[in-house]
Amino acid sequence: MARIILRDIAKTFGTTPILNGVSLDIEPGEFLTLVGPSGCGKSTLLRILSGLEEPTSGTVEIDGKDVTKTRPSLRNLAMVFQSYALYPHLTVAENMLTPLKMRDLDRMERLPLVGPLLSRSKRRDLMDQVSATANTLRISDLLSRKPGQLSGGQRQRVALGRAMVRRPVAFLMDEPLSNLDAALRVHMRAELSALHKMLNTTFVYVTHDQAEALTMSSRIAVMMGGDLLQVGTSDQVYSQPTNLKVAEFIGSPKINILPGEVGKTGTLTVFGQEVGVSCVTHGPVSVGIRSEHLALTSPQQAVFSGTETYRENLGSDVFVHVAVSDGQHRVVLRLSPAQASSIRSGDAIHIAMDPAHVLVFDKHENRSSATLARSHEVPA
Ligand SMILES: Nc1ncnc2c1ncn2[C@@H]1O[C@H](COP(=O)(O)OP(=O)(O)O)[C@@H](O)[C@H]1O
Ligand SMILES: [Mg+2]
């Protein structure tokens, strides 16, 4: 298990800044996911961590040692890529043996004909390590196949196996599931989580898929435009985003954003209606509320109204898309099938906001403190 510390990592390609001073402290044994839109610098940061790329400035530390100038092969990290990078002409067993041979056999011992004679017992030892890893990953029956004879999920497992045999101090994974079909991707999320628990090793995982990040990670680092915006648990980045961009990137369906106004006394109104929240900031704000925190209500209790434009029926939940009667905004409500069936097409839909889950963002897009207004406090 390794503690990895990135300090103030900056990178420019030519004159284009790609990373603007990223600092991140990855705890031993944690499953940390770097998530952000395509092109925000995730792979570059991971490549700097692995040593494949040099930072323009800043340092990489592994277990207290500055490895910024250390060759990738000496950092004892395992990298798993989206393209599995397996050798097509070698069997699964030979693919998994290769990194061990590179590490444990000298040049003579690696020669095709003489090598096996020189290093018989060493090779047996390495093959035992491959068998043990194959057992763990349940790919023992695939050892004699070639990559072309494997399914996507099996290839992914072999690529992991090849990374695992060396017992690295940390696994670095760059979008390892993005070549798999949707069902297999969901299944592999569970497998990777289980594998992380079993190996008890630091995982640094890169994805652009926020759902993948939310389901697997002990902590998530949200990146955008070469900056780290927030680092926290899934619950923290989902429920307490520190920034409007994080709120909009994390969660599906996307968080609802409505225009709000905070009066001189700190009272928040949305479309001129009080929502039961007091703020410290003043003036115009963006008000975020997730689909599960909007509810159907009576016209008297409603903060705003609208009409249905579209519904997504997922069986257990129904996402009802509503055009707000101001003619400009749209929101999504998560309803139970029973609630959704009470709405007839063309009906006016009256909507309440749960004040306990209202997120307020100031004009700089930073989240501003919002508390329940007196009138909405639950009596003790
Ligand atoms: N070797 C390179 N030379 C020039 N530009 C690069 C290089 N590698 C990446 N970039 C650019 O850096 C930005 C970030 O890339 P990358 O780290 O791959 O993003 P992500 O993995 O988040 O999609 C992109 O705009 C990409 O075009
Ligand atoms: Mg990438």
- Sheet containing 370-372: give its strands across: 367-368, 359-361, 283-289, 256-262, 267-270, 273-279, 370-372
| Measured CA distances, 174 to 137, 161, 206, 211 (Å) | 19, 16, 5, 16
Taking the CA of 41 as reference, the closest ligand is 1
Q: Whose CA is nearest to atom 21 of ligand 1?
A: 43
User: What is the rounded distance in angstroms from the CA atom of residue 295 to the CA atom of residue 342?
Assistant: 13
What H or E segment, with its residue span, contains residue 246? helix 244-249
With a CB cutoff of 8 Å and minimum separation 6, the contacts of 18 are: 11, 12, 41, 44, 226
Of the residues 11, 18, 52, which should be mutated to test ligand 1's pocket, given the most ligand atoms within 8 Å of the CB? Answer: 18
The residue type of 64 is G
Q: Which residues line ligand 1 (CB under 6 A)?
A: 13, 18, 36, 38-44
Count of beta carbons in the 10 Å neighbourhood of residue 37:
13
Count of beta carbons in the 10 Å neighbourhood of residue 294:
24
Q: How far is the CA of 44 from the centre of ligand 2 (A)?
A: 7
C-beta separation of 290 from 255 below 8 A:
yes
User: What is the rounded distance in angstroms from the CA atom of residue 248 to the CA atom of residue 300?
Assistant: 30
Q: Whose CA is nearest to atom 24 of ligand 1?
A: 39
Q: Ligand 1, closest atom to CA 206? A: 21
Q: What is the pLDDT of residues 4-30, one digit of tens each?
A: 999 999 999 999 999 999 999 999 999
Residue identified by tokens 């290839």 is 155
Question: CATH for 254-376, among 2.40.50.100, 3.40.50.1700, 1.10.10.10, 2.102.10.10?
Answer: 2.40.50.100
User: What is the rounded distance in angstroms from the CA atom of residue 274 to the CA atom of residue 375?
Assistant: 11
| Average model confidence (pLDDT) across the chain | 92
Phi, psi at 191, each rounded to 5°: -65, -40
Q: How do the domains of the chain map onto residue ranges?
A: 4-244, 254-376
Q: Ligand 1, closest atom to CA 53? A: 1
Task: Domain 4-244: give its CATH code.
Answer: 3.40.50.300
Q: How far is the CA of 53 from the centre of ligand 2 (A)?
A: 13
185-213 per-residue burial string, b: 16 or more CB within 10 A, e: under 16: beebbebbbebbeebebbbbbbbbbbebb
Of the residues 9, 16, 43, 54, which should be mutated to test ligand 1's pocket, given the most ligand atoms within 8 Å of the CB? Answer: 43
SS3 category, 52: coil
pLDDT in tens for each of the 380 residues of the chain? Answer: 889 999 999 999 999 999 999 999 999 999 999 999 999 999 999 999 999 999 999 999 999 999 999 999 899 998 887 666 789 999 999 999 988 888 888 888 888 878 887 788 888 888 999 998 898 888 899 999 999 999 888 888 898 888 888 889 999 999 988 878 888 888 888 888 988 998 889 999 999 999 999 999 999 999 999 999 999 999 999 999 999 999 999 999 999 999 999 999 999 999 999 999 999 999 999 999 999 999 999 999 999 999 999 999 999 999 999 999 999 999 999 999 999 999 988 899 999 999 999 999 999 999 999 999 876 665 55
243-273 per-residue burial string, b: 16 or more CB within 10 A, e: under 16: bbbbbbbbbeeebbbbebebeeeebbbbbee
How many Cα atoms sit within 13 Å of 245 on the Cβ side?
14
Q: What is the pLDDT of residues 69-98, one digit of tens each?
A: 999 989 999 888 766 678 999 999 999 998
Q: How far is the CA of 60 from the centre of ligand 1 (A)?
A: 19
Q: Whose CA is nearest to atom 9 of ligand 1?
A: 44
Beta-ladder partners of 368: 360
What H or E segment, with its residue span, contains residue 260? strand 256-262
Phi, psi at 181, each rounded to 5°: -70, 165
Q: How far is the CA of 36 from the centre of ligand 2 (A)?
A: 10
User: What is the rounded distance in angstroms from the CA atom of residue 84 to the CA atom of residue 134?
Assistant: 16
